A and B are shown apart, each in its own frame.
Chain A
């Protein structure tokens, strides 16, 4: 598994770039991960989704899918795709330092 450096700290990620240990993540790392995903600036709305992802992961052991995000994060589906054009649940999970959400809907 590859190691990458965010905010001066070395963390290990899987082949797709998701953190293997969510505890290694800090908020300071998020802008750098986001930049690598093509998001130059994290707005308050991005952060709302990122914090929600982590909260759900910590509560349930798995990150929410786009459908769940759209229903419960307070950010509707259309806006989620504007914030994270390359896939809201997937990209937000990566920026939030949690595993890629599994789920077909």
Chain B
């Protein structure tokens, strides 16, 4: 094995539970290896760092073939909450932290947590709407400057 990864910049662009966790695990895992990490939340991924929404992230119960559930069943009232509770139960048993706690931990590892400027403009969000761990709201150009010299992972 030759070469090492020194820095990763991870983009989280989705607002579902299964859309958010992989990027968080990648970021946390990078820091555990001593790799510098930045996490950039864009579009519905912003829900993960939104004060109002970060405790209410749900599994996508429709349009999610991985669930092997008939669309009409996934669309029943209460289904997203039920599936989310089931998934969170399983994750809790494996000691995978809930999203708010996980992001707090990732910030404590020294990773940068950023919101996307264009998405914040789109949804009418300011820094006050985002959790305390957010380092800043940055433009795509600033993101590329931060990411320079490292790897970019889009999720």
Contact = CB atoms under 8 A, between A and B. Distances in A.
A78 B94 CA distance: 22
Contacts of A65: 32
A65 B33 CA distance: 11
A81 to B, nearest CB: 5
B51 interface: no
Chain A contact residues, majority secondary structure:
helix
Interface in A52-92: 65-68, 70, 76-78, 81, 85-91
A37 B108 CA distance: 21
Contacts, number: 43
Interface string B125-146: 0000000000000000000000
Size class of the contact patch on chain B? 10 to 19
Top 5 A-B pairs, shortest CB-CB distance: A86-B34, A87-B34, A77-B108, A78-B108, A66-B32
Interface in B83-108: 94-97, 105, 108
B109 A81 contact: yes
Nearest to A77: B108
Nearest to A78: B108
Given A76-B108, A78-B108, A104 B29 contact: yes
B38 interface: no
B32 A87 contact: yes
B25 interface: yes
Given A76-B108, A77-B108, A81-B109, A105 B97 contact: yes
A89 B108 contact: no
A68 B29 CA distance: 13
